[in-house]
Structure 1
Amino acid sequence: MEVHVTGNAAALAEANDFKRFKVVMSDRPAAGFASLGADLRSALTFDDADTAWVSCTWLRAAGPADPDWLARFELMLDKARPMGWVSADGAAIRAHVEWPLAAGDSPAVGDAFRKAMRRLAATPCLVTTLRDGRRHGMAATSVTSLCFEPPSILVCVNTGASIHDPLDAEGRFCANLMGGAHSDLLGAFSGELKGEARFSLGDWREEGGLPYLADAQANIFCSVAERWRYGTHSIFVGQVEAVRADAELDPMVYLDGRKGRFATA
């Protein structure tokens, strides 16, 4: 199933394909993702340049006037909810956004790369910071170790993400490694909830001026040592200031859009 957007008009395509769901932007550059007309805002909103929330009311109206189709659509929503792809109020479903190719881009390489990255299992992190008394956070799998001398990690943040500017200005953050019991938090920090409401779930505390998840697998407190901009993202080098680690080893594992738990052989 695809939502095709041209100008400020949206239309549903491949309506009977319930195995995939995405938004295809036909003629709008990714840099302008937040500039939507009123007509288009009734159909979808953007969490960032890579993720849109599509109105379920709009989808029901745009789909075939067929009771069987509506039943299959509701079944799709039921399957998407445990994955965190349906908003907390049930009003919208999450979709990946596909933008027009820039000159010289190869669709074959882009599609193959996306498919390859969906096969890279990772433990999601909740990246958090505090700026002017307000907490900000996002879910990310693009967090990785850099080196041990000095201890440091890399965090990649889309420039359109709500945490980007506060993190850039504050220069400090905490990477909270998620455990298998944090399923509800993954959805909340991936767009189901906004701003401070994201911290209404979970045992959040504060240390050294940074919010941290008390029962995370680990909390890595960092100051930003360096930063670069590449493509749609900023790359932050976090120099590790302090670490807390849970004694129980039960990380969340994210693979191909699905979350699960690690099991030893």
Structure 2
Amino acid sequence: MSPPIKATPPGFSALEFRTALGMFATGVTIVTARAADGQVIGLTANSFNSVSLAPPLVLWSLAQAAASLAVFRAGSHYAINVLAREQKALAERFASRGNDRWSGVSFIEGNGGAPLLEGAAATFECFNRSRYEEGDHVIFVGEVERCSWRAGASPLLFHGGRYYTEHPL
């Protein structure tokens, strides 16, 4: 018997799928870049993951409908800022629309102008290596040129639609 050519259509709703995905706890990041006109952009994302140690590669994804998609597609660099537990308000600010996300936010400029957020648990400065369109998102693979972390920082976590912080078992 030969394998099927296409996946079987889902037998669940979008809400059921989203609820099931919410059972996977993730870290919280803000992905940042600088547009060609000099404007800084950033958005909250929890679709971050490691890909390879050699070369050092990471990935994240962005909705095709996102207003910032063109900037991330065109830019040579971006930064992934892994948020610390005390940065919940920042995660919420960069996840919402229609506000000045950058007002009062402290950062330094990283590779290619991408902002590195003050107080982040870790940062990854990435060359925009490749992009893949899949479903309603674009998957970005970044080659990490520099990374740093704050010793003793506790990461901000997201699970089931709520923010958490770690607790050792």
Q: Give your verdict on TM over 0.5.
A: yes
SS of 1:198's equivalent in the other structure is coil
SS of 1:224's equivalent in the other structure is strand
Residues 1:227 and 2:113 are matched in the alignment: no
> Structure 2 matches for 1:14-93, cutoff 5 A?
none
Please report how far the alpha carbon of residue 171 of structure 1 lies from its aligned counterpart in structure 2 after TM superposition.
Answer: 2.6
Cα deviation, 1:220-264, whole Å, max 9, x if unaligned, reads 000111111011111111000101211123100111110011111
SS of 1:149's equivalent in the other structure is coil
CA distance in 1, matches of 2:58, 2:25: 18
Q: Which residue of 2 aligns with 1:106?
A: 10
1:129–1:173: 8 Å Cα contact kept in structure 2?
yes
1:153 paired residue among 58, 68, 90:
58
Cα deviation, 1:181-232, whole Å, max 9, x if unaligned, reads 01111111111554xx211143222123111102100010001111110111
CA distance in 2, matches of 1:146, 1:250: 23
> How many corresponding residue pairs?
160
Structure 1 residues 262, 185: CA separation in 2 closer, same or farther (over 3 Å shift)?
same
Q: Displaced runs of 4+ in structure 1, greater than 2 A? A: 104-107, 109-113
CA distance in 1, matches of 2:19, 2:159: 11
Q: Which residue of 2 aligns with 1:250?
A: 154
1:186 paired residue among 79, 88, 91:
91
Larger radius of gyration: 1
1:136–1:162: 8 Å Cα contact kept in structure 2?
no
Instruction: Considering fraction of residues, name the structure with more helix.
Output: 1
Q: Which residue of 2 aligns with 1:198?
A: 101
SS of 1:188's equivalent in the other structure is helix
1:126–1:139: 8 Å Cα contact kept in structure 2?
yes
2:79–2:110: 8 Å Cα contact kept in structure 1?
no
Alignment gaps of 5+ in structure 2: 1-7
CA RMSD of aligned residues (A): 1.7
1:173–1:210: 8 Å Cα contact kept in structure 2?
yes
Cα deviation, 1:72-128, whole Å, max 9, x if unaligned, reads xxxxxxxxxxxxxxxxxxxxxxxxxxxxxxxx8535164443222111001110000
Residues 1:144 and 2:49 are matched in the alignment: yes
**Aligned-residue identity in percent:** 26
Q: Which residue of 2 aligns with 1:165?
A: 70
